[in-house]
Amino acid sequence: MSVHPTPTATHVGDNVRVFCQDRVAVVVPESDAGFAETGRYAATRAAEIGAPLAMLALIRPGVRGDPLRVRKGTHDLLTEHADCLSAVAMAIDGRGFFASAFMSMASGVFLHVRHAPVPMQVFNQPEDAATWLAKSIDVPPETVLAFVATVRAQLEAA
């Protein structure tokens, strides 16, 4: 499998990094901006590989986000780019108050987009999200777990 170990910029200044491995993209937002650029990236990548993209949004400590903008951006991403997305997982990569606060916001997002044409799940742990995402695209979970671990290690090293 091909691994792009460095993030692919979706747009200068959008505060979103995307890491790709075949049909899996790990999206690491730093704010609630960049949904449109992420959608365009997903469409371009899906066209390149000839298959819909499975996306894992990795929410890390320090990310800034307005719940209403996140809800609208997620809804728009899942509806406007449904043809190029096979599944979307949102994982909280943190603990304590941060994790609780974002899990609450993510639950609200999930309720808002539960009827979107793309399957979406929210997880407390990136490993659980990776396993679900792998099963949704019928690839061995170890493959996606290893990729997510690589991305997380790169983020920690930066």
Residue 29's DSSP bridge partners are 16
Domain holding 41: CATH number? 3.30.750.24
- Is the residue at 80 inside a domain? yes
Distance of alpha carbon 138 from alpha carbon 56, whole angstroms: 15
Cα–Cα distance, 76 to 96 (Å, whole number) = 30
- On whether residue 126 sits in a domain, the answer given is yes
Q: Which two tokens stand for residue 100?
A: 């609780």
In a domain, 93, yes or no: yes
In a domain, 3, yes or no: no
73 occurs within a structural domain: yes
Write out the residue range of the structural domain in which residue 133 sits.
8-157
Residue 26 in any domain: the answer is yes
In a domain, 44, yes or no: yes
Residue-level pLDDT at 4: 47
Q: Which stretches does DSSP call E strand in 2-155? A: 8-9, 16-21, 24-29, 53-59, 85-92, 120-123
What is d(CA 38, CA 87) in angstroms, rounded to the nearest whole number?
14
**Residue 119 included in any domain:** yes
Per-residue pLDDT of the chain (158 residues; tens, 9 = 90+): 233 445 454 443 457 888 888 899 999 888 777 788 888 888 999 999 999 999 999 988 877 777 778 878 888 888 888 899 999 998 988 777 666 776 676 677 667 666 678 888 889 899 999 999 999 999 999 999 999 999 999 888 87
| Number of domains present in the structure of the chain | 1
Structural contact between residues 66 and 33, judged by C-beta atoms closer than 8 angstroms = no
pTM equals 0.83
